[in-house]
Structure 1
Amino acid sequence: MKIKATQIQQAEDNISCMITNLTYREVPQRGGRQERVFTLPNDSTVTLQRVNLQVTGTAMVTFEDETTVSVEFSICDRYYLCAPQGTAIDCQVIEYSCEICTVTASEVNVVIDLCLDVKSSTTVTLDVDAVFCNPRAQQIENSCPSPVLPPQCPAMFGRGVVENHTSYPPLSSNPLIVVQQGEKLCMRAAKVYDWIQDGIHTTLAIARTAITGRIFNVDQGTFYDFIDVAVEDANSGDTLLISSGAYPQDTSLVIDKSLTLRGSSAEQTRITFPDTLPDAAALRLRADNITVERLSLFRTTDEGAEEETLLEIPQRVPGDYYEGIAIRDSILEGGKRTARIKGKDLIFERNIIIHTGDEESLEIQGALGETAIEDNTFRGGDLSRGTVTFARALEEDRFAGTLRLERNRVERHTQLALFDTRNYEDVSILVRENEFDHEDRGGNSIVFLPFEFPEVESILIEENDVTNPNPGWLAVYVDYSSGGDTSPEPGQIQVLINRFVFEQPWGEETDIISPVAPVGFTASGEDFNMGLEDFELEGNIEPNEPPQEIE
């Protein structure tokens, strides 16, 4: 029998212990359970049977470098209780602990304590007299119809006639309960013969494996010195723990299976790529469910390499993308652009992006499902352009689902976001709670290209804090200068409760601009029914202005 039990204990030196997979079995005895006569404190005697139990489980110790060692253990103990032939033994663990006792360079001593609840029982048949009852009468007001019971089986109980049998005692002393019909029931239940609780104890000495490499495959228990070798040997679903240090690569790194790469911390685990690479991408992810976290990725920037990128997630096939990829808690630095991505259900969160090129930081060229760009820090440079663009690169690229750009901190870029609506289908856009300072990189902050506005379900731009000390720009802009002949519905672009600090004048002479916020569109958009009423503007404030009341 398997007992579901798991307990974790953390030692002061960052070593934890967990026990799980607890099972028990009764160890058979030759000739059956042996009997022994015991004298009780009142001088009476009782005959009890000896029950031998074996409890097994797994103790897993996690060391300070996140490596783990699992050891199976087995504890045998004997109990005397009333357990005659025909009874079964049931055992449960009601309390348990796994404690780190001593730690040395070569081993860890673990103390395991279990408290067992042991019962002997058998299944018996109960003969129970039961009755059907009518509910008592309502003394205040009876608003319910009289109860109607389904007929009994005629072959067993007559022709469905319900009679009162006053010979059966009522189920309650309440005289208002009326007995309707009696019935004899047979039920099976467990009869407990004996029941005891006792503790068992053991100590394990768990050897610490000498570390021969800095990259550890948790699932295979293997150490490596080189990331590419560890990736090559890993199976889909494995986790690679990368210890602190520098990991210079000789060439590009491709991950083509579902893996988790986890560093000790982004500040201390640094993967660097050579100045010259045969591939435009330094790191390429080509499988579902890849997670990259707590790593620092670095490559130099070659301004002459037009397609250069630090990270790339390509399409699986045209129009279909790898899904479930997560990049989090990492530092990404270098490359003409930081990342070029096509993905489904992408998570890009809590990263620091140091942009040193003259393209966009993140180019999202295709996105399906839920795309979350959240809680990141983007640091631009002298030539940095857009922070995040959601724009197709090829005819077959497509966008569907929700695009989230939330709680990011951005400095020194020309744009916060560009939404090129070509190949959009049922897209919802949320730009919320971002802090963006253009500094010396002037530009329109949030830009829409109006190719497929009917395919955009909703646009919410809310609670952002945007500063642009450069005159002639807008916070939200619909740009018809590059083409496009559609327009949003009235109020479709919701711009709510933002703080815009923009140098006057707002926009250019060829723009139509709201008088209450740095929001507008190219004047040629009027030919396609674009108007200021397509923006819903409420609660947006300028510095030193009181907040607008929202009705």
Structure 2
Amino acid sequence: MTHHKERKEKVCIKTRKVYDWVTRQVDVPLRSFSNGDLEAIFPESKCPRQGQTVCDFFASNGLSAGDFSIRCFLTDDEGNRIDRTVDNNALICQEILQPNGRQPVHVTLPSGDTVTLQKVKVLVKGHVVVQVVNANGHVVCESSPIPFATAQTFILCAPEGTTLDCHISFFECDASLICTDNFSQLDVSITLCLEVQMEAEVKLEVEARYCQPREEILEATLCPTDKFPPQCPEVFPAH
């Protein structure tokens, strides 16, 4: 392959500059449902209880504590299961605008220097669905979409003109259903990893050279090539 040395030149490009970038694990406040709220979460259309309470329905169907499992997953607002990595639009992640704008915060760095950053508030909202599955893997009961929300405050380099870009890099939902003679309750706990970036569109002058296509790598031939065995030049023909 022949390489041609090209002259570098200064070019102007327009791109998104990242001013700050942090990741935070967020434990969403526990959602608990009991009594009438529990029955409302599992409607007759998705849990044919025929007027029974949720726990009575499980008992009448032989679903003791060891005979069923509960799973919880991310959905849209209609209850359709979504893949966080594919359809991140089903989750709302946006900045909460403050009446007087982002408030400045003076922060002392480990070096002793003081810098001025900004307070950024972020809202995360979405839905989950809880399913009750019997020992054969059949879904016997499914909840309506359960909304969740959390508000987080970050101290970031976020000067005026920057915008928030955030997404969920990890999502986990766990549900626990308790049915006793005197007590029934569904608890839903959600943990997510929130990635937050402050960005702005800027024009940068960089030193660069234009790219050229590389030479094509051809598929190796299938025809064998005869090769001679290696010689021993120290011995023959030495002289």
TM-score by length of 1: 0.22
TM-score by length of 2: 0.48
